[in-house]
């Protein structure tokens, strides 16, 4: 698939260039992008007028040459951190001290009002996004599942608001190329359409010592077509179709040498890769009447991805993993709300979804893995009783086949009312009733030939199977109450309390370990032998692989302020989170390499956020800071008690600063824009025991742009000081692994608007 995906990505890039050149000659830009203003249909007013801690970015900020995906907004959004590691399948998100490495996210993601149901799709290339906003704190009342810590709304450029053709090209370190092209047209006052495409390539930033090649090359492409039909002043129909392709290597995980107190070079023998094809179609129908607004958003989403991984990340043949899944998903959201007149404003909604995942996840145990993970464990117990006898497996490698069929569906009713209390006060009350049902049908099998020297003359076959079905049902009530005081039209204070939740699920990744344990026990049972310590585990049934939702109660105080004739904007917030039934990764007892998600802990998190933007004349200054103190109140992972320790993977501090000056000229260019920016993150603890941590680190960036009419040429850099830092840590088979952050990057960019 890698070759075909690369070719398709190249064709998409060529199409973008051809379309922008051909259609750009026919029509000129008629509407300035600065005029584009968007408010989500569920948000009644701009986010700085709401009782919520939020950040927003305009098209210029999102289209910056140094911004490729949502990950690039880490630290730019206070207390938001999405580390860059692994592959584009890895979309771990941490907000205000909460988050998870695997399974369900703590943040919802909507693109043009359409929710992404699978976090495997969260990491994609941004293009022609005219607005990005992040609402922090629980947003489940209006947005539902997996918005326990916030929701991010992305809005792409609409052909109903802009006509013209856009093109951009970027080239930077490690032969990184980015091409984007789009064209927007209005056939008449009622119908408009747009076409957009991109192509990205990089040779990679990390070298695998085993073969001397880059382990993380990447090709990706995307295409989007959008049509907007406005038959009259009441109705609007908006349909957006998109597809995406990803073909990349991975993973840059390096073994840590405890004696040297550093990680060694990346060095593993089995190839690793990630391939993804995604398709989405979203249909929005809206009617704006004199008294009410009705909205219907329908989507179909398809995901086909394939992960291949050297699961031990060493030069030894131990074991590999392949995970291939196909997902079909449907969503439907109906909304009816009153116009903003009078003292009472309300909105009611009906939401439903269905998704079906068909997953295959075979694990191949090679000779090194057979010896280290199976035979060494078994023979240690055997030798305690029969010193000269042993257990052996004939195969140099065998496969643990795993297949999962996982349908999930749900429905919700939600309501929110706002009450004006005099000239200054606004009270908001909301409630959502959410139902969700999920099931997992599993089929697992492994075949080996084994030999026990004490009782057998030759190898004997053994088949180990594990088949069955597990189900989960959840009913959640998600209330929210807020009170807001408007000092005047531009300044306000607020307080709220809200419940958040994150959906439960299944641990598909643990089945190979369960089958491995059953295989060892099966060998012993056939021999009529049982050794203490052989195959002991606390998770020997599929029932243990289900986990329940995670809940939180959130309390927040904050304010939005506009001063000095709106040249100075400030936002502040203080929060406290009490998280129960926390979904945490645990390492069960026994001689296994597996881990699983379970409801094992309780966490409390508190902190604050502040952002400041000041624009005097041709200057721009912005600052965003977040502080989080997140600790376990209760967490026992089966081996140790971590109560009182810091929650891992989430930074205690995030700081982003930007200084920009625009120099206006009447020469060969219209203006020169100078920019310097910096990000400070840390401390980040890497495990529950708090043994390892990433200290505060600083990333310096900057650039200069030359603008002439609709063209712009820029030179930029990221991590200019070549700061060394880590973005990820994990432990496997008794080894510690880290992934280092990307080194210095230098680039040039070109923008052209016709």
Instruction: Say what percent of the chain tops pLDDT 70.
Output: 91
DSSP H/E element including 527: helix 511-527
What pLDDT score does 31 carry? 43
Most confident of 379-383, 591-595, 614-618, 728-732: 614-618
pLDDT digits (tens, 9 = 90+) for 238-258: 999 999 999 999 899 999 998
d(CA 322, CA 467): 20
Q: Report the C-alpha gap between 159 and 38 in whole angstroms.
A: 14
Residue with tokens 């600052």: 623
Q: DSSP labels for 275-315?
A: EEEEEEEEEEEEEE-SSEEEEEEEEEEEEEEEEEEETT-SS
Least confidently predicted of 235-239, 446-450, 581-585, 741-745: 581-585
Cα(133)–Cα(43) distance, integer angstroms: 11
**β-strands 107-111, 150-156 pairing:** parallel
Task: Please give the C-alpha separations between residue 276 and each of 10, 118, 187, 411, 648, in angstroms, as whole numbers.
Answer: 16, 13, 35, 28, 29
- When comparing pLDDT for 233 and 34, which is higher? 233
Give the pLDDT band (50/70/90) at residue 26. Answer: very low
pLDDT band, very low/low/confident/very high, at 34 (cuts 50, 70, 90): very low
Cα angle 732-735-736, degrees, rounded to a multiple of 5: 90
User: 13 pLDDT band (50/70/90 cuts)?
Assistant: very low
Q: Minimum mean pLDDT among 458-462, 473-477, 626-630, 639-643: which range?
A: 639-643
| Tokens 């290339």 found at | 125
454 by DSSP, 3-state: which?
coil
pTM (2 decimals)? 0.91
pLDDT greater than 60 at residue 236: yes
Q: What is the pLDDT of residue 734?
A: 83
pLDDT, residue 500, reads 94
Strand, coil or helix: what is 690? coil
Write down the pLDDT at residue 737: 94
| All residues at 6 or more sequence positions from 430 whose CB lies less than 8 Å from its CB, including other chains | 141, 142, 414, 415, 416, 417, 479, 480, 481
> How many percent of the chain have pLDDT more than 90?
72
Residue 541 is predicted with a pLDDT of 62
Q: Is residue 619 classed as helix, strand or coil in its secondary structure?
A: strand
Give long-range contacts, CB 8 A cutoff, 24+ apart: 227-235.
Answer: 227/159, 227/191, 227/192, 227/193, 228/158, 228/159, 228/160, 228/191, 228/192, 228/193, 229/190, 229/191, 230/160, 230/189, 230/190, 230/191, 231/190, 233/288, 234/287, 234/288, 234/289, 235/285, 235/286, 235/287
571 and 48 Cβ atoms separated by less than 8 Å: yes
Beta strands in 709-744 (DSSP E): 711-718, 726-732, 735-740
Would you state the pLDDT for residue 341?
74
What's the mean pLDDT when you consider all of the chain?
A: 89
How would DSSP label each residue in 318-355?
-EEEEEEEEEEEEEEEEEEEE-S-SSEEEEEEEEEEEE
E-strand spans in 503-618?
A: 505-506, 546-547, 550-563, 568-586, 596-614
Question: Do 427 and 483 contact (CB within 8 A), yes or no?
Answer: yes
CATH architecture classification, 2-753: Beta Barrel (2.40)
54 band by pLDDT with thresholds 50, 70 and 90: very high
pLDDT tens digit sequence for 671-683: 999 999 999 999 9
d(CA 180, CA 165): 11
Q: In whole angstroms, how far apart are CA 408 and each of 118, 121, 184, 405, 457? A: 12, 17, 37, 10, 50
Tell me the mean pLDDT in the region 280-298: 96
| The two three-digit tokens of residue 336, written as one number | 């009816």
DSSP character for 375? I
Tens digits of residue pLDDT in 140-187: 999 998 899 999 999 999 999 999 999 999 999 999 999 999 999 999
Per-residue model confidence as pLDDT tens digits over 384-410: 888 998 999 999 999 999 999 999 999
709 conformational bin, left if phi > 0, alpha if psi -120 to 50, beta if neither:
left
Q: How far apart are CA 264 and CA 286, in angstroms?
A: 56
Residue 591 banded pLDDT, cuts 50, 70, 90: very low
Asked whether residue 684 carries a pLDDT value surpassing 90, the answer given is: yes
Residue whose entry in the numeric block shows the structure tokens 């013209």:
164
pLDDT band of residue 543 (cuts 50, 70, 90) is low
The ranges assigned to domains in the chain are 2-753
Tokens of 217: 């090359």
Whether residue 297 has a cis bond before it, omega within 30° of 0: no
What are the strands of the beta sheet with 80-81, ordered from one edge?
80-81, 93-95, 98-100
Tens of pLDDT, residue by residue over 312-364, are: 999 999 999 999 999 999 999 999 999 877 899 999 999 999 999 999 999 99
Q: Specify the pLDDT at position 595.
A: 64
Strand pairing class (711-718; 726-732) = unpaired
What is the per-residue pLDDT for 751?
A: 96
Closest alpha carbon to 103 in 83, 113, 84, 89: 89
pLDDT at 547: 87
pLDDT in tens, 686-711: 999 999 999 999 999 999 999 999 99
Sign of the C-alpha dihedral, residues 69, 71, 75, 80? positive
């Amino acid at each position: 698939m890698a070759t075909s995906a690369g070719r398709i990505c190249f064709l998409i890039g060529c199409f973008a260039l051809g379309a922008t050149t051909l259609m750009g000659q026919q029509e000129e830009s008629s509407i300035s992008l600065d005029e584009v203003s968007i408010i989500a249909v569920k948000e009644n007013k701009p986010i700085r007028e709401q009782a919520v801690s939020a950040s927003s970015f305009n098209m210029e900020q999102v289209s910056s040459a140094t911004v490729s995906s949502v990950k690039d907004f880490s630290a730019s959004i206070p207390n938001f951190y999405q580390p860059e590691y692994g592959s584009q399948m890895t979309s771990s998100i941490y907000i205000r001290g909460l988050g998870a490495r695997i399974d369900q996210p703590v943040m919802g993601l909507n693109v043009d009002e359409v929710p992404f149901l699978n976090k495997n799709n969260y990491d994609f290339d941004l293009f022609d996004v005219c607005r990005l906003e992040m609402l922090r704190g629980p947003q489940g009342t209006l947005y539902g599942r997996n918005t326990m810590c916030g929701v991010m709304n992305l809005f792409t450029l609409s052909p109903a608001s802009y006509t013209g053709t856009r093109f951009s090209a970027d080239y930077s370190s490690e032969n990184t190329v980015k091409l984007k092209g789009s064209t927007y047209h209005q056939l008449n006052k009622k119908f408009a359409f747009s076409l957009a495409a991109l192509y990205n390539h990089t040779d990679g930033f990390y070298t695998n010592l085993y073969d001397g090649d880059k382990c993380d090359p990447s090709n990706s492409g995307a295409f989007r077509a959008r049509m907007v039909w406005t038959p009259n002043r009441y109705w609007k129909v908006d349909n957006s179709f998109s597809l995406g392709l990803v073909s990349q290597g991975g993973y840059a995980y390096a073994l840590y040498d405890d004696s040297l107190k550093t990680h060694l070079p990346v060095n593993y023998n089995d190839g690793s890769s990630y391939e993804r094809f995604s398709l989405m179609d979203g249909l929005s129908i809206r009617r704006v009447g004199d008294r009410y607004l009705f909205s219907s958003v329908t989507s179909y989403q398809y995901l086909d991805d394939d992960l291949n991984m050297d699961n031990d990340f060493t030069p030894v043949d131990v074991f590999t993993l392949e995970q291939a899944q196909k997902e079909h998903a449907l969503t439907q959201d109906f909304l009816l709300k009153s116009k903003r007149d009078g003292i009472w404003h309300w909105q009611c909604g009906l939401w439903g979804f269905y998704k079906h995942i068909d997953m295959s996840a075979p694990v191949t145990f090679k000779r090194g893995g057979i010896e280290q993970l199976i035979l060494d464990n078994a023979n240690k117990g055997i030798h305690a009783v029969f010193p000269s006898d042993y257990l052996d497996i004939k195969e140099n490698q065998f496969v643990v086949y795993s297949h999962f069929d996982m349908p999930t569906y749900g429905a919700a009713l939600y309501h929110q009312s706002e009450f004006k209390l005099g000239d200054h006060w606004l009270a908001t009350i909301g409630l959502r009733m959410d139902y969700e049902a999920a099931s997992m049908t599993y089929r697992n099998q492994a075949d080996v030939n084994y030999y026990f020297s004490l009782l057998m003359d030759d190898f004997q076959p053994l088949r180990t199977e594990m088949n069955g079905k597990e189900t989960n049902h959840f009913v959640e009530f998600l209330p929210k109450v807020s009170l807001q005081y408007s000092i005047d039209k531009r300044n306000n204070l607020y307080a709220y309390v809200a419940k958040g939740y994150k959906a439960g699920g299944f641990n598909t990744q643990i089945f190979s370990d369960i089958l491995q344990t059953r295989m060892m026990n099966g060998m012993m049972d056939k021999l009529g032998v049982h050794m203490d310590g052989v195959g002991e585990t606390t998770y020997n049934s599929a029932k243990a692989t289900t986990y329940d939702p995670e809940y939180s109660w959130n309390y927040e105080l904050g304010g939005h302020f506009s001063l000095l004739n709106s040249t100075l904007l400030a936002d502040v917030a203080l929060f406290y989170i009490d998280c129960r039934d926390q979904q945490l990764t645990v390492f069960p007892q026994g001689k296994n390499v597996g881990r699983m998600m379970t409801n094992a802990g309780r966490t409390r998190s508190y902190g604050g956020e502040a952002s400041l933007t000041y624009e005097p004349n041709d200057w721009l200054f912005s600052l965003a800071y977040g502080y989080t103190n997140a600790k376990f109140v209760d967490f026992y992972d089966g081996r140790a008690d971590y109560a009182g320790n810091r929650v891992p993977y989430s930074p205690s501090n995030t700081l982003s600063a930007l200084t920009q000056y625009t120099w206006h000229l009447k020469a060969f260019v219209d203006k020169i824009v100078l920019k310097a920016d910096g990000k400070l993150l840390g401390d980040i603890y890497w495990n529950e025991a708090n043994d390892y941590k990433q200290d505060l680190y600083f990333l310096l960036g900057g650039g200069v742009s030359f603008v002439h009419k609709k063209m712009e040429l820029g030179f930029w850099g990221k991590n200019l000081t070549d700061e060394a830092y880590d973005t990820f840590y994990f432990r496997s088979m008794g080894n510690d692994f880290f992934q280092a952050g990307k080194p210095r990057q230098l680039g040039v960019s070109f923008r052209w608007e016709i």
